[in-house]
Structure 1
Amino acid sequence: MTPPATHWSAPAWRLLRRLWAYEVAMWRSLYRWTLRRPLVTEPGAVPFGHAKSTTPVIWVFIVLSAIEIPAVDLLLPWQSARLAFAFLGVYGLVWMVGLLAMVKTHPHVVAPTGLRLRQSATVLLPIPWENVVSVSTRNRSLPTGRAFQYEQTSDGTVLSVVVLSQTNVDVVLREPTVFALPKGTTEPVTELRIWADEPKEFVAKAREHLARQGARAA
């Protein structure tokens, strides 16, 4: 006779850990946003936002969440149900503000040691300058529905970190590199494509560091 299961499966535990890490990151980001402290930890580093296009969408959900709380309170006749839905509504509203804080306080960073590419608080893609061949601007539209998309090219695998189905900065790598994503590691990629709110300024600052790196190597 098979004993009943007394523990969750490994995939369930991984999902639970991811959800918990996301929750903690949300509250930390909300704290940082309240104190106006974007996550830039290296002297000489310059932050570049990537949330300009998504911010209006998040604000729409924040406003709708705020309207929903009193509307549900008026519609429900039971006190206990009103209290329960009010709690859930307030938590959902705070969560949406926290989501906005996550993208606001975790910008891309162009630093003396390399690039730190972000997607909210959950993804960090560090690239030292020694592994960067070039950084350039190019607007691209991609299929909807996936934040991380792969493309096979003659030069290797491209990883696109997509914002509203778009990227506008290409980072070509010297060596195939594996990165950590929320669902596991990537396959080796030779190019990253990201979105930056100010792509020309991002590329200009990155090229300054690449020029210094080339001068030191000469």
Structure 2
Amino acid sequence: MRYMRRFCGIVLALLNVFLYTTVSIHAEEELTFPTTAEEIIEALSGETPASKKSWGGLQASSNNNSDLFGRSDKQGMTRGLAAIVEDERELEQAPKVGALILFKYNSSDIQEVSLPLLREYGKALKGALRDAIFVLGGHTDSKGSEEYNLMLSERRAESVKTFLVAEYQISERQLIVKPYGEVRPIKSNSTSEGRALNRRVEFIRIK
């Protein structure tokens, strides 16, 4: 019996490693890191979760975005979008890209070297994607405590939102911050290269 328990423990451990590796590889294959406005627009032009739904007889469309939040006759859509933000299955299937934004050490201050990339996002969101709504998913590597990394990922995603709102007059309602911390790596945290990819902000288009 003791050997059987030990054998089962080994099998479960190997299964967990396999599942983790499969998810990580799948995420890496699915997630792209565009660097120009044109590439960003192309990557985020797929069908969104909101485009598949109709709330209270009101079909989601790009024409509704200007007053999406705040009008009583559109509360159903507002609630629907809020539900999408909390539904990881919906977000997993939504168009998304990763942005490798560099921040100062243990800080949410964006390094100047990353400003050109953020400006490309600003152009895309101000242009062809001006009616879109995004979840800004903040991610970190595994250095530090899980609680601290969750807080840091939120602050860094907020910094990206603040930049786009201030520099490109993107509506705050178009950018919804959602922190993930360290729990969704796309590469192993055992190497500096892997950690660099895990420190990212994802733009997930929900409408």
- TM-score bracket for this pair, using the shorter chain length: under 0.3
Structure with the higher fraction of residues in strand conformation = 1
Say which structure, 1 or 2, has more relative contact order (CA 8 Å, 6+ apart).
2
Structure with the higher fraction of residues in helix conformation = 2
Instruction: Calculate the TM-score normalised by the size of structure 2.
Output: 0.25
Q: Quick check: which has more Rg, 1 or 2?
A: 1
Instruction: Calculate the TM-score normalised by the size of structure 1.
Output: 0.24
